[in-house]
Amino acid sequence: MRAKEKILIVGAGLSGAVIGRALAEAGHAIEIVDTRNHIGGNCHTERDEATGVMVHVYGPHIFHTDDKEVWDYVNGFMTFMPYKNRVKATSGGQVYSLPINLHTINQFFGKSFRPDEARAFLDAQADKTITDPQTFEEQALRFVGRDLYEAFFKGYTQKQWGCSPTELPASILKRLPVRFNYEDNYFFHKYQGMPETGYTEMIARILDHPNITVRLETSFRRGEKAGYSHIFYSGPLDGYFDYELGRLGYRTLDFERFTYEGDYQGCAVMNYGDVAVPYTRITEHKHFSPWEEPAGSVCYREFSRACGPDDIPYYPIRLVEEKAQLADYVARAEQEAGVTFVGRLGTYRYLDMDVTIREALDTARLYLSRKAENAAMATFLHPPL
């Protein structure tokens, strides 16, 4: 098929790969550039040579979705193995089940409550003097009372966000974060799993199309638009404008990697709620591929801190100050012809992988339909604000 248009995609993560594939299948010539020396973006997985463990290089990724089309899409490129995310937490020298469920409540308070008893007990723990919670702390105290709040929310949140839960909005904790049964699967989604040979292999297969070329270790700069009929940009929104209006706030992660002979912690994710423990969690990567039996083990101690200019941006902060700055960048982006900002960095939002794929498919479809109508492509599929 003769290629119709030359399109540049910045970023070889899930956003770039899925958009690229859809447009390549429509006959366009797709060039994808990525600063890094590998494809896959933050979902990148690679096998550790020494131990044989499939490592989630930028932190653990678990696939979960209710979106049937997205589930069929990923299964079209990769076999997904059954995987349930069951997280544990260490607090005050004890190990508990998470998310807080009937087991956690019974463990924590040394009880053997049935669901209704636990509900009544927790209701009595809740701080009823708080009628209009403004902060994360007030919201948590109102839901679960001081003991559970301090064991499972206070320290973890403080480490994760680098500020006191009294400085975070109540909206972060929207619903009662407790289950009154023994269900400890972290996600409720209908489809959950792990790619059998890793996310990077899956993304390599998405990119494997004769109309797609990928150039790694190649950074895009704003001036390099000539020759392309359109650009899909999945890099940082503020980075596109050379941070001219300042840097959008992110949290970054430091991973302290260590290896172990055998099984280090017996589960994939162990959270640490105590403030005295400087890391938020330890992830043991072989447990993300429970069908494999690698010789040794690779673990990450995960530390969260403010993102500096040379760090990898992980979690957008999106509090009042950041949103005001974001509005200015969105206004700038709207002036930029021929560019669509996509993905978690291009739109400054936390996006799970399934949402990333959904938006990427919708973006490609919108582009093709606008082309057919001779209409201009949108700058954003969803307004980032």
Ligand X SMILES: Cc1cc2nc3c(=O)[nH]c(=O)nc-3n(C[C@H](O)[C@H](O)[C@H](O)COP(=O)(O)OP(=O)(O)OC[C@H]3O[C@@H](n4cnc5c(N)ncnc54)[C@H](O)[C@@H]3O)c2cc1C
Residue 268: exposure state from Cβ atoms within 10 A (0-12, 13-18, ≥19): buried
Residue list 210-229, contact with ligand X (CB under 6 A)? 219-220
Q: Which residue has the tokens 């290089």?
A: 57
Active site residue 243: no
Residue 281 annotated among the catalytic residues of the structure: yes
Which of these segments, 20-28, 69-77, 178-186, 231-239, binds ligand X (CB under 6 A)? Answer: 231-239
Q: Residues binding ligand X: what is the number (CB under 6 A)? A: 34
Burial of 320 (0-12, 13-18, 19+ CB in 10 A): exposed
Q: Which residues contact 56 (CB under 8 A, 6 or more apart)?
A: 43, 44, 45, 199, 283, 285, 288
Contact residue for ligand X among 351, 364, 377, 381 (CB under 6 A):
351
Bridge partners (DSSP) listed for residue 298: 259
Quick check: 343 binds ligand X (CB under 6 A)?
yes
Q: Select from 261-269, 323-331, 348-356, 375-383 the region that touches ligand X (CB under 6 A).
A: 348-356
Q: Give the x-and-dash track for 303-322 against ligand X (CB under 6 A).
A: -----------x--------
Catalytic, 321? Answer no
Q: Contact, 213 vs 30, CB < 8 A?
A: yes
Stretch that binds ligand X, among 90-98, 261-269, 328-336, 346-354 (CB under 6 A): 346-354
- Residue nearer to ligand X on the CB measure, 74 or 105: 74
Catalytic-residue membership of 175:
yes
* Residue whose beta carbon is closest to ligand X: 41
Of 35 and 107, which has the nearer Cβ to ligand X?
35
d(CA 97, CA 102): 9
Q: Closest CB to ligand X among 80 and 113?
A: 80
- Specify the residue for token string 């002036």: 335
Q: How far is the CB of 282 from ligand X (least distance, A)?
A: 14
* Residue 2 annotated as catalytic: no
Tell me how far, at minimum, the Cβ of 119 lies from ligand X, in Å: 30
Q: Which of 175, 242, 261, 373 is catalytic?
A: 175
- Nearest-approach distance from CB 259 to ligand X, in angstroms: 21
From the candidates 21, 281, 344, 358, give the one annotated as an active-site residue. 281
Among 28, 159, 287, 344, binds ligand X (CB under 6 A): 344
Q: 352, 362, 365, 370: which is the annotated catalytic residue? A: 352
How many Cβ atoms sit within 10 Å of the Cβ of residue 152?
24
Q: Among residues 234 and 340, whose Cβ is nearest to ligand X?
A: 234
C-alpha dihedral, 252 to 279 to 41 to 336, nearest 10°: -20
Q: Which two tokens stand for residue 294?
A: 């690698």
365 is catalytic: no
What is the Rg, in whole angstroms, of the alpha carbon atoms belonging to the chain? 22
Per-residue contact string for residues 8-37; x = within reach of ligand X by CB under 6 A:
--xxxxxxx----------------xxxx-
What is the number of other CB atoms lying within 10 angstroms of the CB of residue 35? 14
**97 — phi, psi (to 5°)?**
-85, 140
Site string for ligand X, 35-74 (x = CB under 6 A): xx----xxx---------------xxxxx-----------
Q: Which of 352, 362, 365, 371 binds ligand X (CB under 6 A)?
A: 352
Whichever of 8 and 53 has its CB closer to ligand X, that residue is 8
> Rounded to an integer, what distance in angstroms lies between the CA atom of residue 226 and that of residue 231?
10
Q: Are 47 and 54 in contact (CB under 8 A)?
A: yes
Give the span between the Cα atoms of 101 and 290, in whole angstroms. 24
Question: 58 with 292: CB under 8 angstroms?
Answer: no
Q: Which is nearer to ligand X, 151 or 333 (CB)?
A: 333
Q: In this structure, what is the dihedral angle of CA atoms 37, 210, 21, 285, given to the nearest 10 degrees?
A: -40
Decide if 179 is catalytic: yes
Contact 332, 380 (CB under 8 A): no
- If DSSP codes are grouped into helix, strand and coil, which group holds residue 171? helix
The DSSP letter of residue 82 is P
Rounded to an integer, what distance in angstroms lies between the CA atom of residue 228 and that of residue 231? 7
Nearer to ligand X, 79 or 219 (CB): 219
Contact set with ligand X (CB under 6 A): 10-16, 33-36, 41-43, 59-63, 219-220, 234-235, 239, 253, 314, 343-345, 351-354, 356
Active site residues: 175, 179, 251, 281, 302, 350, 352
